[in-house]
Structure 1
Amino acid sequence: LCGAKLSEGVFVGSFLSMSSTAVVVKFLVEQNSNNALHGQVTIGTLILQDCAVGLLFALLPVLGGNSGLLQGMVSMGKLLLVLSIYLTVTSILSWSFVPRFLKLMIQLSSQTNELYQLAAVAFCLLSAWCSDKLGLSLELGSFMAGVMISTTDFAKHTLDQVEPIRNLFAALFLSSIGMLIHVHFLWNHVDILLASVILVIIVKTAVGTIVTKLFGYSMRTSFLVGVSLAQIGEFAFVLLSRASNLHLVEGKMYLLLLGTTALSLVTTPLLFKLIPNVMNLGILLHWFPSEGTPRSEAHRGLRF
């Protein structure tokens, strides 16, 4: 509709559909909502998005005109096979190796916690590195490391030990986003940038709410899921860089997408702080029920 090529439109649509696993999960945990129904649905959606990152990388050369459709389909098939093998291996390791490894680290670090912290971080980095080398995303590898640890009896202890490091990494992550900003360009196009961010938040919230509602969840849960996914994911920076190298997006479009992504991530903390006020307003206007989630909905959520 805006005169862009179809391939560029497909990329931008895929690009905008990504949400931030790192930022969203962090705030869900801080608000003790990660085990709530909307938190579980949100995290599940984020996992599927992370799994799709590798497929998007395989699709980029096709969209950029550097490879044929058949070659792109073969690459996607290979990635699906690698993903299946990777998930199978992590599932086996979660009950065969990880508990013994963590137990050994606890025994060795009885006098000090530094060794256990180092081992936990090294394990997560190793999982992320393996995932990246297999052509999958770093986020997926990091997430699977956390899942493997969560299946053991040492999950709570590990979380307590790595929390200070997690906060440090979160600060570095937000700082790196600021370094990507092209201030001069964004200042000259601040009206377009703000309109783009607002449009992304509104559209992604609406789409997320509608899709979740179609699966039988209440309007309250659906809205919370929609708002939680109303930003562009940090891995979009890598996709955007790759697309730029393939000349799929260039010039002002590249800078605009870069700025929109960064600003949407920066505004996510504000959105999470506004959620209680919006929910209270929704209850007053009878958009959402005032009582808790019905049991039947929770059962449907377990099957989602």
Structure 2
Amino acid sequence: MQGFLYQASIYLAAAVIAVPIAARLGLGSVLGYLMAGILIGPALGLVGQETAELQHFAEFGVVMMLFLIGLELEPRALWDMRHRLLGLGGLQVVLTTLVIMAGVMLLGHTWSVGLAVGLIFALSSTAIVLQTLSEKGLMQTKGGRSAFSVLLTQDIAVIPMLALLPLLAMSGGRSRVLEATDPAEPGLIDTPGSHGEAGMSLVAGLPGWGVTLVTLAAVGAIILTGIYLTRPVFRYIHVARLREMYTALALLIVCGISFVMYLVGLSPALGAFLAGVVLANSEFRHELESDIEPFKGLLLGLFFITVGAGINFNLLFGSPFLVLGLALAIIVAKGAVLYLLGRMFELRGRDLWLFTLSLAQAGEFGFVLISFSGQQNVVPGDMTEMLLLIVAMSMMITPLLFIFYDWLSNRMEEAGEALEHDDVDEQARIIIVGIGRFGQVVNRLVRSSGYETVVLDHDLAAIQRMRRFGVKGFFGDPTRPEMLHAAGLKDAKILVAALDDPDAAVRLVTFARREQPDLHIIARARDRTQVFRLFQAGANDIVREMFDSSLRAGRYVLENMGVGEFEAAELQQTFYRHDRHSVRELAALWDPDIPTVENAAYIARARELEEELETMLLSQLEESGDDDRQSA
């Protein structure tokens, strides 16, 4: 017990110290976990051989992650991805395998060894890539979705790879290039090749057709269970009204599915993903997500710590240039294949580089294939140590590739701003600056009502998207005086400032008010602070993004509490008028150089206005109640 508590304290302390530091430096949590593992393992020697056993346990975090991903994908969405799964993902696995196989053969190995190594390095790190894409908010980009499609294809491809490797069993022979490794030196990274017990299998000893039938039956059982059994079980658990039972059931679902997948020789991660897709339409989906998420995060972090703690630095220091050179060669080779495929599938700019750089490393399933290849005598024993180290090193380099992507992305943004601006050859009395979600609605309403508008935006993609729908817009920096004058600012009657950037919106309003004192300016704002800034800049009407929708929701609350529809609408209008009055009064007291909580005059007036509002609404409710009683 003491030993367990000591080791748990070491791992948790390392994570708590290293991960926040890495995150603050912009390196991401994954690199933080890896550095924590290096610190407590090879650097300080605080942990040892138990990292191999922990890695078996920690890989369950990858299984949970794929289950959660499945919950976010409805079957229809998965079907819509079929072209990328079979096309982009399938080509990536095949071409990367062939390229790396050719490279290994050029180094003097047999074709069977080359093919085995190609299969190992064709896979990327699902755990690192998806975790980092989620942290950086890149999952919903075109490049992020393409990367996810390839990762999903790779996870599925592990199954035929495990079936193919025994057919490549070597008759003998040793490595010619990697002889620098010492076969007597034990590796600290143990691999998860022996998940589960060898004696527990539903397919052992069965003929091929029997294995196929049992496998299909297991997959069918998972699908039927997810469709028909989970809802009654959740309702049964709900009766107990014990929060921990939901967590227990969520863990049971993931553990049970993983165990069934082990019994039939399939990837537990693939089974968990399949179950997640089946449950994506369930009303209990969000409950499952909230229960599994904490376990997933901790286990994934533990997995990365064990990878860092298990790096064989003796082998690395013995041949540092060879190890780093081979790791970089793998990254470059995979990156070249990914870049070409990305262009073939019409990825451009940031999306292309995100796709290329995010998938260029080896993955955690590489540990599985390396171990299995060694057991099947597919690759020589002295080569497996080096392969394990190359996989680990490439995974450690991945966060640096994302940092490189961030740098490229910023450079592309700067280059984008240098694009030649359009010549504005139209003028109208209504100028709309910013054609995002807010500006689009304004423009559609006004143009559909028969009024001409001139649309300006600095987002070239948004302008091009408008043009495909037959709406003309002009690309350029709409805060530039010459562009505004070309759009007809001098004779304009209304300017709509719908820019995303708050500072740019204030600059635009300030300039427009100075140039055209009689111009009516309608501005979009995110919060009250920006409202005050825009009022001081000279805007006439300011619309907060969420204000009107929030008022409507509040009206629905009142109606469902028994207030009549007419009375609720009147209360909504009273609140709206009072808020406009309040904002204008508070804008006069707001000082950008004084924090709001320290502005005594502002706080005092805000309290007075809030009391006035409450009195007005309560009086209005009482009057409507008296009217109802009199009419009755």
Q: TM-score range by the shorter chain?
A: 0.7 to 0.9
**Is 1:189 the equivalent of 2:319?**
yes
RMSD across aligned C-alpha pairs, in angstroms? Answer: 3.0
> SS of the residue aligned with 1:226?
helix
**Is 1:95 the equivalent of 2:200?**
no
**Is 1:236 the equivalent of 2:366?**
yes
Q: Pick which of 155-164 and 169-178 moved more.
A: 155-164
Q: What is the distance in 2 between the residues matched to 1:141 and 1:65? A: 31
Alignment of 1:67-216 (within 5 A): 88-108=220-240, 110-112=241-243, 114-216=244-346
Q: How many pairs are equivalent?
A: 284
Q: What is the distance in 2 between the residues matched to 1:77 and 1:13? A: 29
> SS of the residue aligned with 1:97?
helix
Q: What is the distance in 1 between the residues matched to 2:460 and 2:374? A: 49
Q: What is the distance in 2 between the residues matched to 1:63 and 1:267? A: 30
Structure 1 residues 40 and 76: alpha-carbon distance in aligned structure 2, compared to 1, 3 A threshold: farther
Structure 1 residues 29 and 156: alpha-carbon distance in aligned structure 2, compared to 1, 3 A threshold: farther
Structure showing greater radius of gyration is: 2
- Structure 1 residue aligned with 2:409: 279
> SS of the residue aligned with 1:3?
coil
Structure 1 unaligned residues grouped into runs of 5+: 67-74, 296-304
- Structure 2 residue aligned with 1:51: 156
Summarize deviations over 1:161-185 as a string: whole Å, max 9, x none.
3222112101221122134322211
Contact 1:121-1:162 within 8 A present in 2 as well: yes
Identify the match of residue 16 of structure 1 among 121, 139, 150.
Answer: 121
- Structure 2 residue aligned with 1:38: 143
- Structure 1 residue aligned with 2:390: 260
Q: What is the distance in 2 between the residues matched to 1:87 and 1:220? A: 38
Contact 2:158-2:267 within 8 A present in 1 as well: yes
**Is 1:27 the equivalent of 2:157?**
no
Could you tell me how far 1:204 is from its partner in structure 2?
1.8
- One-letter amino acid of the structure 2 residue matched with residue 6 of structure 1: W
Q: What is the distance in 2 between the residues matched to 1:201 and 1:235? A: 16
Summarize deviations over 1:43-91 as a string: whole Å, max 9, x none.
221121111112111111111158xxxxxxxx99987777666555544
Q: What is the distance in 1 between the residues matched to 2:338 and 2:407? A: 19
Could you tell me how far 1:220 is from its partner in structure 2?
3.1
Q: What is the distance in 2 between the residues matched to 1:291 and 1:100? A: 51
Q: Which has the higher contact order (CA 8 A, sep 6+)?
A: 1
Could you tell me how far 1:243 is from its partner in structure 2?
0.9
Q: What is the distance in 2 between the residues matched to 1:281 and 1:78? A: 57
- One-letter amino acid of the structure 2 residue matched with residue 17 of structure 1: A
Could you tell me how far 1:36 is from its partner in structure 2?
3.1
Q: TM (normalized to structure 1)?
A: 0.80
Contact 1:50-1:140 within 8 A present in 2 as well: yes
Summarize deviations over 1:76-110 as a string: whole Å, max 9, x none.
998777766655554444433334444544453x3
- Structure 1 residue aligned with 2:36: none
Q: What is the distance in 1 between the residues matched to 2:264 and 2:460? A: 46
- One-letter amino acid of the structure 2 residue matched with residue 229 of structure 1: L
Could you tell me how far 1:14 is from its partner in structure 2?
0.9
Structure 1 residues 292 and 202: alpha-carbon distance in aligned structure 2, compared to 1, 3 A threshold: farther
Contact 1:54-1:79 within 8 A present in 2 as well: no
Q: Pick which of 33-42 and 48-57 moved more.
A: 33-42
Contact 2:139-2:145 within 8 A present in 1 as well: yes
Q: TM (normalized to structure 2)?
A: 0.41
Structure 1 residues 37 and 235: alpha-carbon distance in aligned structure 2, compared to 1, 3 A threshold: same
Q: Percent identity?
A: 28
> SS of the residue aligned with 2:301?
helix
Structure 1 residues 80 and 92: alpha-carbon distance in aligned structure 2, compared to 1, 3 A threshold: same
Q: What is the distance in 1 between the residues matched to 2:350 and 2:214? A: 37
- One-letter amino acid of the structure 2 residue matched with residue 162 of structure 1: I
Structure 1 residues 88 and 155: alpha-carbon distance in aligned structure 2, compared to 1, 3 A threshold: same
Could you tell me how far 1:240 is from its partner in structure 2?
0.4
Contact 1:128-1:142 within 8 A present in 2 as well: yes
Structure 1 residues 79 and 139: alpha-carbon distance in aligned structure 2, compared to 1, 3 A threshold: farther
- Structure 1 residue aligned with 2:508: none
Contact 1:129-1:141 within 8 A present in 2 as well: no
Q: Which has the higher helix share?
A: 1
Summarize deviations over 1:123-152 as a string: whole Å, max 9, x none.
112112222222211221232233334332
Q: What is the distance in 2 between the residues matched to 1:292 and 1:106? A: 48
Q: What is the distance in 2 between the residues matched to 1:292 and 1:154? A: 38
